[in-house]
Amino acid sequence: MLHNGVPLAVADLVNRMIAYSDNTATNLLVRLVGTSNVDKRMSSYGLANTKIFRPTFRDGHADVFPEEEREFGLGMTTPREIARLFRLIAEGKIISRSVCDEMLAILEKQQDQAMIPRSLPLERDKIVVANKTGWDEEKLPDAKGFKGEIRSDAAYIKSPKTRYVIAICARRGQDTRSTVDNEALVTGAELSRMVYDYFRRATRSPS
């Protein structure tokens, strides 16, 4: 909770945007750097399908790519591309190693633990999760007029035994519940644990 008149630095806004999915902080940052500049930066890293079209709360008023905004709303990405972005950050290849370390430290503060981190043995295996979630409604209805749910989570997972990146994105979800029992969240958590168990077994020393 913030009080009226509290001065916020860019770092404060970034923390609010990532850790708490604060839309107002997002809008202030988008206004500061510009949507087209964000898209150019993503393109420079080979992420042609990772774009932002406008600030939040402005449906149908795209700054760039109006046709894509009509279908995707605020922005778009793919599981492959967002996982690649997380890998580049983990490897220190976005701007510099120190900047990437700052990004990871902010991502580790993520408050939404309902998908990728949910079923992982965090304390037992000393796992650190740096993740960013997403939640929206489809902008265009399906053939029956239903606008399904969009749920996503992307993360860099690190423990003493293994490290990897993972991205899970679900579209047209029929379950619109906002609780942790939402089917997309439960299924995503199960997939996340399966991936972790696979890598954990793969890095085990032979007996």
Q: What is the pLDDT along the chain (207 residues), one digit of tens a residue?
A: 677 877 889 999 999 999 999 999 999 999 999 999 999 999 999 999 999 999 998 888 999 999 999 999 999 999 999 999 999 999 999 999 999 999 999 999 999 999 999 999 999 999 999 999 999 999 999 999 999 999 999 999 999 999 999 999 999 999 999 999 999 999 999 999 999 999 999 877 554
CATH of domain 79-207: 3.40.710.10
Residue identified by tokens 């202030």 is 28
Please tell me the predicted confidence (pLDDT) of residue 93.
98
What one-character DSSP code corresponds to residue 22?
-
Q: Report the alpha-carbon distance of residue 116 to residue 127 in Å, rounded.
A: 12
Ranges of CATH 3.40.710.10 domains, the chain: 79-207
pTM of the model: 0.93
pLDDT, position 1? 66
Share of the chain residues as helix, strand and coil, in percent rounded to the nearest 5: 40, 15, 45
Asked whether the beta carbons of 87 and 160 are under 8 A apart, the reply is no
